Every structure is written in structure tokens, then in C-alpha cells.
Structure 1
């Protein structure tokens, strides 16, 4: 563990048991830091590297974005975000920001250059949402440059962002959802699809679900983690970002019965296997390990084709569940809790297409609530009178 990547310094364990970290400062001298734990030595080194970077600009030396952005990634972003998020940040910096701005000094970056960059990315075919994501990373990096004293203000604050296009996701109707579950019967996907459609859980949340998270007596599950696979990093299991994401979900009897059948089949499979990995996963691969998200989606897509259903994304099962619940008249607040949204505004905005029918129902109920008894009697008398006129008309004919 002695050598690290260029710019990260070095780290190794000394003969006396302590950890030593070091890096070459801007003055050309190597600085050393010690700690009982590797994390302690690294933290001391990172703080010193930050101070060295601040002093570099203060001394009047040229600081290019190609030098600053990697340091921001390593010293600021990496310790603060999940590993998978960091990998995405790093890829965005290398693919988009460094080629465009690497040759520019931090304090000479202009709003016009940033605005032209966004326009170019849109012309290249990037979606507005992707450009907004790139902007968010550049904005964070330059905000940090302000706090370090490298620049006086963040030029991205004045840049105009493209309007995010609302994706037109296809959701399943109730009949289509029933068809999918029926077609999946006795397959590996059956219980997974039932859980997706009845709990609105995300793909990563389902693949990280463990049997210990489920209380069969109370018919609930506690969502504690999510799973994803990131490039060369491999499998990443993490806790939900917000408290709302760490939610308890009530399970339907339909889901409970499916889970019981699924557990029994899984136990039989484990007994037959000679190299089963016991990770307590509800939806593992055929050897008990984490099921590849991409392969699971491939199986899901094939099933849609065989069932002659629309080619939706797996994530659209979550949208389908929420849409069906709202259409059934379930209160949006309850749907928000089920989805794990931290703000109800997110739920209302995402599923605004379902709300018009609900608003009509509210208007009808409100109108009925303010209809007074004498008005109802008048309406009743008028209705009886109209029926009498119709009867007389028929007898005359």
C-alpha cells in the first residue's frame, strides 16, 4: 500500500506500527504526516494539501483547471460522497470538463465560456438533464474554489441552464400489470415483479433486500440499503441518501404469499448448490450472490416481449405502482411515503398527469358538501315533476 496514484501522495505502515503519509508540496519539499490509523494520516495529509493549494494561488502561480479539478475530486468530493457517486463525478470531469476547460486558469474562466460549453454539449446531442448534471459538478467545484480563496465568485451562478424535458414514461395499466405477473408465474422474476408493482421499490433496493429486512408476522419490510454495479469499481451497497429513503413498507397479503413461496424455492436451490454464497439476499443470482442489474433487466425485457407488453424500463414498474395508487384515490402523502420521496412536491410534480381526475373528484365532493338540505329537496321535487311530465307525455302519445 506504499504507492498511490500521481497527485495523491504516498501512504505506508512503518515498522513501529504507525502509518506515514506524505506528498511533495508546491515548494518542492516532501511533507510527512503520521497517525495510529491510515485514515488519520491521510486526513492530516489531505488538509495540508488543501492549504498548499490555497497558498499556490496566493503566491501568484498559474493554477489551471486541469490541476485544480483533480485536486477537488480527491480532497473534497471523494471523502464526502458515496464511491459510486465519486466514480460518476470523476468520469464527468475527465470526459467533459477537462477537455473543455483544462487549459484555462481557474480565475480566468468566464460566464461566456461556460455558456458556450453548455450550448455545444446540447448540439452534440446530450440531453438537457445531462448538461444540467455536468453543470452541477462544475458548480460544486467552483464553489469550493471560492471557499479556498482561489476565485472571488462562481461564474456558473450566472450561466443559463437548458430546460429539463419531462420524460414521457410509459406505465402499465392495471390489466397489463396483471398480465405481466400472470406471465411471470413460476419464473425467477415472479416475486421480484410482484414486489416492484406492490411496493414501488427501486431496482437497487430490491436487489439489496435481505430476508432479515422482512417481518412476515407484521407484514412489513424495512428498507435499509440499495445495490448498484459501477464500472471497474464493482458492486456497491449503500444506505439510502435520506431518512425518507430508509422507510418501512407495508406488504400486501398477495406479496407475503409470493415471498413465502419464493423463500421455499430458494432454500431448495441452496440445498442443491455446492458453492452457494449465503448473503441472506431475497433476490440473489443462481449462486446466492448479487444478481447483475443489467442481466436482470435483460430477462425482464425478454419477458415483456414474450408477454406482448410494451417495452418499458424496469424503473417504470415503480411509476406504474404510484400511478395506479393515485388513480385509485390513495392520498398523495401516503404515496410519497411509499416512494421514499423526502418532499411531497416531488411526488406531486412527478405524477401530475394523474391529478386531473383526482381534482374532479375533489370538486364533485366539495360541491356536494355545500349543497344545503333545502336545495336537495328542491332538486328532488323538480326531478319528480319532470318524471311526471314525461309520464303524461307518454300517455298522450
Structure 2
């Protein structure tokens, strides 16, 4: 049999596979250090090692540490994903993953290490969606490592992918929603009040609202064309990109009263632009929601304003994203078709809508059942 073994220490053997000589007459050989109870077991490992070498599946240990390889992976990822996504990757990596695995050599990381890390994330109270982000990053790293022949086997193959449990969040019921609109109608900051109304009546995401431009609004056809989302990174500043999914590019029909408010708001924005003259900071863009000088709002601005608004008015506090959930549940309560709701929200498929709002649909169906009881009176 090709190859031989050399005892290196207690339960340690060096597997050697000679491969002839190079052009300079230097001997070529592949080696691998293994743990074995005795020579018989070591010879079995030698046979497997020879097979790996001869079939080209053997990958020599690189001794590269995980923390160092992550830097190489990040350069590769930066060519394929948006800057905002890279920022998210950096946070996920630096906060927990590199802390837990950074000191390991790539070939020494097993599925056990990764499973322990995933389980620790759950025990620390991270959401299922956040845990899945950690899984996806790890999966991408080790896939590239296998492709680059840094490791032979991908440890992620034995790690169960975490499932995402959707939460509908806190929403306003019909009475609370009616009260909210009454207070918004009296709000001095008409622009921010209009943004909140837009979120509640169109179900648009915050990034989609911030990216909205006047060219996206067709007053004649009473439609809003959602085709961009606004993001911000420290490295690249503001960026307009396509929305979350392909189905997120959509047309939404708002109530006529909301369109009337948008017409009035447009006149104010035109005045702002005319008054700004050379100080106009919107460039070639004309955003629906912006500063007086046309610059788009920083993504945190609507959140901060909404928090202060709830504190000032005493209304039930919800997150900005919960305005979107409220929009969906309000449509369910009004008897809207689930397919129409899914399309209006720009979900990638109806399954996503069902996962998030399934229990609200069940509640609405129970109300219908109660109405049908009248036939038996």
C-alpha cells in the first residue's frame, strides 16, 4: 500500500504519502498528523488518507484562524451585497461570532462549536430572525472556505437552520386608530403626521416612505409607485436602492383624502425648493419627505419623532414598523382579501403574510362565524 506511518508520540501518528519528485529533484509528499490508539487504527486512517490524496479531496490544514479568514470573506462579500448589508454583517460578526470562534483554526471548527453558538444566541434572548442572520453569515463563510480549499468539509452541513417565527408586533385596534387619526389631523408638524398616515393607509415600509419622490405619485390615476428604498451607511451616506424583494416594487392606491393631503404637501415642498435656490440639498431628487432644503431624512428621524409624539399625546406607544402591521390588521378587520393584502404590503409570497397575520385572520373568521349565528334566530 502506498504511504507509511510514523509514530510521533502517545496516540499520535504521522501519515506520509510520497508523490515522487519535483523538477528540482526535491521530494514531494503529503502528510497528516492523526490520533490513533494503535498502529492498526493508524493504518486504517492511512488508507483513508491515501484515498483522499489520490482522489484530490484532501485539503491540507491551513492553520488560518477564523478571525483572519473572516477578513478575506468580507472582501468577497462586499463585491456582492449592498453596503448596508455589509454593516449588518460587521455587527453580527464583531458582536458575537468572532468573539466565540475567532481564536479557532478553520479546520478545527466543528458543527458542535457552531451549534453551541446558535443555542447561546437563543438563550440570550435574540429574536429568531437575528439568529438566522448569524446562521446565514456563518454558512456563507464556510461555503467560501470549502470553495477555496481552506477546509475539506463544511461544518454547517450538520447544523440545523434556525426557523424564523414572525411576530405581528403591537398594533392599534379600530378605536385606537380612529383616535390616532384625530390627533394626527391636529398635529402642527404636518409633514411627519402625513408620513405616519401614509404608513397606516398604504402599509409602506419606513425605507420606502423615505425614498418616495414626487415622480412616484400619480395623482391622475390615484396611485403610488413603490420602487425604491432609502438606506444610510457611514461609509457611503444615503443610497437609493430597490426595495426588499422583487414583489416590493408595486403600486398602491391610497384613500382620496390622503392624496388631497399629498397635493397640499407638494405645494409646500415646491415653495421650499424655490426658496432654497442654490442651498437646495436634494440634488436631482425631489423627495416627498425631506428637510426644508430637500435632503432626505436620516432613517432614525421618524422613529424619534414618533416616540416623542406618543409621549406628548399619551397614546399607546408602538414602533414605526408596527404602523405597517396596523395597516395590515386594519385591512383584515375590514374584510380585505389576503392576496390583496399580501400584494399591497409587497410580501415575496402569500406564505409570509399568513405567517405574520394568520392569527388575526383566525380572529376575523370567528367574527364572521358570530355574524352567521343571526340566521338561527
> TM-score, normalised on structure 1?
0.72
User: For 1:266-345, what aligned pairs fall within 5 Å after superposition?
Assistant: 266-273=269-276, 275-278=279-282, 279-345=285-351
Label 1:318 to 1:168 Cα distance change in 2 as closer, same or farther (>3 A). Answer: closer
User: Take 1:276 and 1:361, find their aligned partners in 2: how far apart are those partners?
Assistant: 53
User: Take 2:163 and 2:60, find their aligned partners in 1: how far apart are those partners?
Assistant: 41
Matched residue pairs, number?
315
Secondary structure of 2:296's counterpart equals: coil
Tell me the residue number matched to 1:252: 255
User: Take 2:234 and 2:127, find their aligned partners in 1: how far apart are those partners?
Assistant: 22
Label 1:128 to 1:361 Cα distance change in 2 as closer, same or farther (>3 A). Answer: closer
Tell me the residue number matched to 1:87: 87
Contact 1:221–1:248, Cα closer than 8 Å, also in 2:
yes
Contact 2:61–2:151, Cα closer than 8 Å, also in 1:
no
Label 1:173 to 1:296 Cα distance change in 2 as closer, same or farther (>3 A). Answer: same
> Which of 349, 352, 359 lines up with 1:353 in the alignment?
359
Instruction: Report the Cα offset of residue 352 of structure 1.
Output: 1.3
Instruction: Report the Cα offset of residue 132 of structure 1.
Output: 2.6
Instruction: Report the Cα offset of residue 307 of structure 1.
Output: 2.6
Higher RCO (Cα < 8 Å, 6 or more apart): 2
Instruction: Report the Cα offset of residue 291 of structure 1.
Output: 0.8
Tell me the residue number matched to 1:202: 205
Tell me the residue number matched to 2:69: 68
Superposition CA RMSD, Å: 2.8
Secondary structure of 1:293's counterpart equals: coil
Contact 2:61–2:150, Cα closer than 8 Å, also in 1:
no
User: For 1:1-397, what aligned pairs fall within 5 Å after superposition?
Assistant: 58=59, 60-75=61-76, 77-160=77-160, 166-167=166-167, 169-185=169-185, 186-187=188-189, 188-273=191-276, 275-278=279-282, 279-360=285-366
Label 1:359 to 1:287 Cα distance change in 2 as closer, same or farther (>3 A). Answer: same
Label 1:209 to 1:168 Cα distance change in 2 as closer, same or farther (>3 A). Answer: closer
Label 1:207 to 1:157 Cα distance change in 2 as closer, same or farther (>3 A). Answer: same
Instruction: Report the Cα offset of residue 220 of structure 1.
Output: 0.7
User: Take 1:112 and 1:285, find their aligned partners in 2: how far apart are those partners?
Assistant: 51
Gap regions ≥5 residues in structure 1:
1-56, 369-375, 384-397
User: Take 1:360 and 1:61, find their aligned partners in 2: how far apart are those partners?
Assistant: 61
User: Take 1:70 and 1:315, find their aligned partners in 2: how far apart are those partners?
Assistant: 33
User: Take 2:244 and 2:373, find their aligned partners in 1: how far apart are those partners?
Assistant: 43
Label 1:347 to 1:155 Cα distance change in 2 as closer, same or farther (>3 A). Answer: same
Contact 2:302–2:320, Cα closer than 8 Å, also in 1:
no
User: Take 2:162 and 2:340, find their aligned partners in 1: how far apart are those partners?
Assistant: 33
Instruction: Report the Cα offset of residue 207 of structure 1.
Output: 0.5
Contact 2:135–2:162, Cα closer than 8 Å, also in 1:
no
Output one character per residue of 1:287-342: Cα deviation in whole Å (capped at 9) or x when no partner: 21011221222112222223321110011110000000011110000000000001
Label 1:182 to 1:139 Cα distance change in 2 as closer, same or farther (>3 A). Answer: same
Contact 2:281–2:295, Cα closer than 8 Å, also in 1:
yes
Contact 1:322–1:335, Cα closer than 8 Å, also in 2:
yes
Instruction: Report the Cα offset of residue 98 of structure 1.
Output: 2.0
